[in-house]
């Protein structure tokens, strides 16, 4: 009989604390998004934080009928694992949806179902980025995407954005000066956090520029369907399907509890994203996929989104009026969103991170702007989400915010 292997002897049990064992790439990350989500759930304040849809819009009656039907007729698919690229019939319904909204239909090999927008961003980062690769992002941009890229050790290059969207000339100058980002991430419609939309000529110019330099465009269309006036401009993907991966989500238009979205782009990239998904969550939940398909195919989606648009348009108008009433005549300026969830308030000389605490004392919450900037520090902006605040509360909340700044 062989002797039992003895455990290595140590002088003292491990007591170093587990943070010292965290991977280098996660150590010291401040969890900005978790902080936003924590604040976003606060109910004791007038809450302008969090890019959440209004829960009053959730189509519970129809969902109840559809869930019952699915459990009765299709449990073998709806409660089962799904293919990593998504259930074929669901991909077909999403392809129809994309074609209807953008005038171009992704081929079967160009489209996959994802577990929401963040999942698509993570799959792209995981599939495309080596440590030290550069990624260009709008400055400011959606925190979740930026941390998605940096958590795969990317270096971030900030590109300015204004009320005409991404400054394509500034990006062209960066490229001409030798910057070589592998991809550029942009939110062309009703951007998070600014609310700004990219002008049509800039869309074409960006596609041409990226084609020339071999830079992949990652187009996030999270708020595209929530425009307040007319039809949206051409999507970047429809202008350049050879150079764009589009990320869509149903979180803002359907409901985020379902965690569903899509990625559409060149087949060789989508194929790699599907492989990357196999060792993340393997597949988007089948029940949600089938529910979405039934909601789209049953003709409920268009009315639902139209209703949402009307609600958010009215709230955006109240927000803009309230900002004018409370901040007019002060050094402040703000964006006038034509869709989406956000207004972007600039308060020159005010540290909005400190203001968030003062505002909390007056029962108002918002997201300080600093976290949305990756390269250039900026502490004088505030992101105000009007998506789930009632009209009277918007007016009251903005008045309280002005008082917290000392403008009232």
Ligand X SMILES: Cc1ncc(COP(=O)(O)O)c(C=O)c1O
144-163 residues near ligand X, rule: CB under 6 A? 144
Most distant CA pair in the chain, distance: 89
Binding mask 197-236 for ligand X (x = CB under 6 A): -----------------------x-x--------------
83-122 residues near ligand X, rule: CB under 6 A? 116-118
Kindly tell me which residue out of 48, 142, 334, 373 binds ligand X, with binding defined by CB under 6 A: 142
Shortest distance (Å) from residue 329 CB to ligand X:
32
Tokens of 76: 């073998």
Alpha helices in 130-266 (DSSP H): 143-150, 168-176, 200-213, 236-239
Kindly tell me which residue out of 102, 122, 192, 320 binds ligand X, with binding defined by CB under 6 A: 192
By Cβ distance, which residue is nearest to ligand X? 116
C-alpha 114/C-alpha 282 separation (Å) is: 10
C-alpha 254/C-alpha 230 separation (Å) is: 20
Burial of 48 (0-12, 13-18, 19+ CB in 10 A): buried
Size of residue set near ligand X by CB under 6 A: 14
Which CB atom, from 191 or from 320, has the smaller least distance to ligand X? Answer: 191
Shortest distance (Å) from residue 283 CB to ligand X:
16
Shortest distance (Å) from residue 3 CB to ligand X:
54
Binding mask 160-189 for ligand X (x = CB under 6 A): ---------------------------x--
Q: Which residue from 275, 248, 5, 303 is spatially nearest to 118, judged by alpha carbons? A: 248
Shortest distance (Å) from residue 254 CB to ligand X:
10
Kindly tell me which residue out of 53, 256, 285, 369 binds ligand X, with binding defined by CB under 6 A: 256
Shortest distance (Å) from residue 172 CB to ligand X:
24
Which CB atom, from 184 or from 399, has the smaller least distance to ligand X? Answer: 184
Shortest distance (Å) from residue 280 CB to ligand X:
13
39-78 residues near ligand X, rule: CB under 6 A? 51
List the beta bridge partners of residue 157: 136
Terminal CA-CA length for the chain: 85
Tell me which DSSP letter residue 215 carries: -
Shortest distance (Å) from residue 52 CB to ligand X:
8
Helix-, strand-, coil-residue percentages of the chain, each rounded to 5 = 45, 15, 40
Per CB under 6 A, 143 contacts ligand X? no
Tokens of 114: 């994802």
Which CB atom, from 332 or from 370, has the smaller least distance to ligand X? Answer: 370
Shortest distance (Å) from residue 70 CB to ligand X:
21
Per CB under 6 A, 261 contacts ligand X? yes
Q: How many CB atoms lie within 10 A of CB 351?
A: 12
Beta strands in 115-173 (DSSP E): 134-139, 155-162, 165-166
Q: What angle do CA 59, 304, 74 make, to 5 degrees?
A: 55
List the beta bridge partners of residue 271: none
Residue the block writes with tokens 């492989």: 275
Which CB atom, from 84 or from 147, has the smaller least distance to ligand X? Answer: 147
Q: Which residue from 212, 211, 120, 217 is spatially nearest to 165, judged by alpha carbons? A: 217
Shortest distance (Å) from residue 36 CB to ligand X:
9
Q: Which residue from 197, 184, 36 is spatially nearest to 124, judged by alpha carbons? A: 184
Contact positions vs ligand X (CB under 6 A): 51, 116-118, 142, 144, 187, 192, 220, 222, 249, 251, 256, 261
């Amino acid at each position: 009989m062989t002797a039992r292997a003895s455990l290595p002897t140590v002088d003292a049990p491990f007591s170093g604390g587990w943070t010292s064992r965290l991977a280098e790439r996660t150590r010291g990350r401040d969890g900005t998004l978790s902080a936003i989500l924590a604040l976003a759930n606060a109910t004791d304040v007038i809450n302008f934080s969090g890019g959440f849809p209004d829960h009053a819009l959730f189509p519970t009656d129809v969902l109840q009928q559809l869930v019952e039907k699915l459990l009765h007729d299709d449990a073998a698919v709806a409660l089962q694992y799904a293919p990593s690229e998504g259930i074929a019939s669901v991909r077909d319904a999403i392809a129809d949806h994309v074609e209807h909204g953008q005038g171009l239909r992704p081929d079967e090999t160009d489209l996959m179902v994802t577990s929401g927008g963040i999942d698509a961003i993570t799959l792209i980062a995981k599939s495309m980025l080596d440590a030290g690769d550069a990624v260009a992002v709008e400055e400011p941009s959606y925190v979740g995407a930026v941390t998605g890229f940096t958590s795969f050790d990317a270096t971030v290059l900030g590109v300015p954005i204004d009320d005409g969207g991404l400054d394509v000339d500034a990006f062209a100058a960066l490229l001409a000066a030798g910057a070589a980002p592998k991809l550029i991430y942009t939110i062309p419609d009703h951007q998070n956090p600014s609310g700004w939309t990219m002008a049509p000529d800039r869309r074409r110019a960006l596609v041409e520029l990226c084609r020339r330099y071999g830079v992949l465009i990652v187009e996030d269309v999270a708020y595209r369907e929530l425009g307040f006036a007319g039809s949206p401009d051409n999507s970047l993907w429809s202008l350049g399907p050879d150079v764009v991966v589009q990320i869509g989500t149903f979180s803002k238009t359907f409901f985020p509890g379902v965690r569903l979205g899509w990625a559409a782009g060149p087949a060789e990239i989508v194929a790699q994203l599907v492989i990357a998904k196999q060792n993340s969550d393997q597949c988007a939940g089948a029940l949600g996929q089938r529910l979405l398909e039934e909601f789209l195919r049953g003709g409920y989606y268009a009315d639902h989104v139209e209703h949402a648009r009307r609600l958010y348009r009215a709230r955006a108008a109240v927000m803009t009026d309230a900002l004018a009433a409370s901040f007019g005549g002060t050094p402040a300026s703000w964006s006038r969103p034509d869709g989406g969830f956000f207004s972007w308030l600039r308060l020159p000389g005010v540290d909005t991170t400190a203001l968030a605490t003062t505002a909390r004392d007056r029962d108002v919450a918002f997201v300080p702007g600093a976290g949305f900037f990756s390269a250039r520090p900026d502490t004088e902006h505030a992101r105000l989400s009007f998506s789930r605040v009632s009209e009277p509360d918007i007016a009251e909340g903005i008045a309280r915010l002005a008082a917290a700044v000392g403008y009232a």
